[in-house]
Amino acid sequence: MKTQIARIVNQAERIYSIDSATADASYRVNLKLNTCTCPQHVHRLSKLPASDPQRQAGCKHVQACRLQEKFLLASLKAKKLSDAQLIVSIQHYQEQGKHEIAGACRCEQERRRQAARADAELKAIFA
């Protein structure tokens, strides 16, 4: 199954947006309430009692957002760090076994490298 990338809609309320893997649709996931706007949740899971294990496990969108939440929030923080802070953070969180945070810092570092490369290429073209 192809995993879709979740986007943060409201950090404080833990609301995410995620595309359907099969339909041309996008769903709204609320991790505070454990709800989703997909048909599976609306027509099936939401009818089950709150204590039902299937309802608690959530639809595949809720599960995907749960898995990605820590990384997405760490990515937001990584954007605010300086290049030097990123290097220190990668080593620190890697040593602590906090791989989502270290990974988010590495992704931010790579994003900056690519942006710098693209910038240098543009400057070379117009030099």
Residues that bind Zn ion (CB under 5 A): 36, 38, 41, 59, 61
Q: CB-wise, 33 or 76, nearer to Zn ion? A: 33
Shortest CA distance to 109 belongs to which of 84, 86, 93? Answer: 86
Q: To the nearest 10°, report the CA torsion of 109, 112, 77, 90.
A: 10
Give, rounded to a whole angstrom, the gap between the first and last alpha carbons of the chain: 47
- Amino acid identity of residue 112, one-letter, is R
CB of 22 vs Zn ion, minimal distance in Å: 11
Q: CB-wise, 59 or 74, nearer to Zn ion? A: 59
CB of 27 vs Zn ion, minimal distance in Å: 5
- Contact residues for 93 (Cβ-Cβ < 8 A; gap 6+): 99, 101, 102, 105
CB of 49 vs Zn ion, minimal distance in Å: 18
Q: CB-wise, 19 or 109, nearer to Zn ion? A: 19
Q: CB-wise, 59 or 102, nearer to Zn ion? A: 59
CB of 81 vs Zn ion, minimal distance in Å: 33
